[in-house]
Amino acid sequence: MKAAVLESLEELVVKEVPTPVVDNDSVLVKVAACAVCGSDIRMFHHGNPRLTPPAIMGHEAALAEPIGCCLNALELSEVRMGDTLVVIGAGPLGCMLIELGRRMGATKTILINRSRPRLEAARLCGADVFICSSEEDAVGRVVHETQGLGAEVVMTACATPEAQPEAVRMARNRGRVNLFGGLPRDKSLVTLDTNLIHYKELFVHGSHGCLPRHHGKAVDLIAAGVIDVQKYISHRLPLGRSSTRSVTLCTWLKPATSTRKPKSSNISAAPASWKSSRIATARPTVRSIQLGSKAWCTSFTCSRRNRSMVSLPPRPRATSSTSGSRRPDEIMRHESRKKERSYDRQD
């Protein structure tokens, strides 16, 4: 049979390998389609103690595995009816968290990303609020959107260290913070304000992978059409093209960032070419390589010709006549305690 074999670091070769031999307790499954996970890319570039080349990588079954990981994370985060859910990171898994979180009862969903083009592409997930953290204070905006209380659940679906302390500041009293996205090995040490965790009584936890029952639920959701996975697929490649060149293509497809800005922040006053380019980037191109009929999706990007974007005016930040020079998270704690005191007086 034909397989993509990792011969050594950054050397992936498609070649014929022996068909696996099964015993009486095994089943031989023909793979019609397989995906490439972000962990496969890390193994391709940096290796893994559990993987000794030459080896056949791969563990993701269609798009069920990432959905299963999202279900596991949302379950651990105890998303409940009426919660506000904030997701930092607008890649495919961030969008899946938003979609599934709404299905699990979140009544307000907020998606945050520092790249405006990627955020525009992620509008397909249907979040209620989209925040570009490179254009405005994301913490302040979340505080504003939650009437000064913060969000019940905040999840970091990105490999950015700065997102984790920001998530702690966005959470309301007794909120849940899920560190969903892993960090690079050399950037995994992050400084958190533990006083915020202490005084706000936060539950900070991580999630990684999924259990078989999550995977089964994911397959059922896809089969029932609850989650439309087709919108997360951009490339479909035969196995014969899953070579080092294909992986290099995946590395090249990075989030586009605009360096051009229109003279006016008013969209209606911007040149027609800017408006048309903004519409063009609303169609997502996913950082994806698909082998057979199965896609590997790790992040959104825009095509090179559509990198220019309209610079939208930032939303107004939360203001308070009593806030003075306090930080947004301090305002949030202050407003939350005021509400709690008012409840006590009513009792």
For residues 272-284, give the mean pLDDT: 31
> How many domains does one find in the chain?
1
Structure confidence at residue 109 as a pLDDT band (50, 70, 90):
very high
Give all strands of the β-sheet with 108-113 in edge-to-edge order: 129-132, 108-113, 84-88, 151-156, 171-179, 203-206
pLDDT digits (tens, 9 = 90+) for 47-76: 888 888 999 887 768 789 999 999 999 999
| H-helix or E-strand spanning residue 12 | strand 11-16
Residue 53 lies in a domain: no
Task: Please tell me the distance from the alpha carbon of residue 289 to that of residue 277, in angstroms, as a whole number.
Answer: 25
What is the helix (H) or strand (E) element at residue 250, kind and residue range? Answer: helix 244-252
Q: Which domain holds residue 167?
A: 65-206
Contact 208, 215 (CB under 8 A): no
pLDDT, tens digit (0-9, with 9 covering 90-100), for 218-275: 999 999 999 998 888 877 878 776 555 554 444 333 333 333 333 333 333 333 333 2
The phi, psi pair for 152, rounded to 5°, reads: -65, -35
Integer CA distances (angstroms), 18 to 1, 2, 3, 207, 298, in order = 6, 9, 10, 36, 30
* Domain assignment present for 299: no
What's the pTM?
A: 0.68
Per-residue pLDDT at 338: 57
CATH number of the domain encompassing residue 150: 3.40.50.720
List, in sequence order, every beta strand (DSSP E) within 50-136: 55-56, 84-88, 108-113, 129-132
pLDDT of residue 326: 54
Kindly state whether residue 15 falls inside one of the protein's structural domains: no
Rg value, the chain, Cα: 22
The strand pair at 285-292 and 171-179 is best described as: unpaired
Q: Residues 72-94, buried b or exposed e (16+ Cβ, 10 A)?
A: bbbbebebeeebbbbbbbbbbbb
Whether 199 shows a pLDDT value over 50: the answer reads yes
| One-letter amino acid for residue 233 of the chain | I
Asked whether residue 58 is domain-assigned, the answer is: no
Assigned domain for 251 exists = no
- Is the residue at 100 inside a domain? yes
Q: Is 132 helix (H, G, I), strand (E, B) or coil?
A: strand
Q: 138-145 and 328-346 are packed helices; what angle lies between their axes, rounded to 10 degrees?
A: 20
Q: Is 101 domain-assigned?
A: yes
User: Would you say residue 330 lies in a domain?
Assistant: no
∠ at Cα 35 (154, 93), nearest 5°? 10
| Strand blocks (E) in 91-224 | 108-113, 129-132, 151-156, 171-179, 203-206
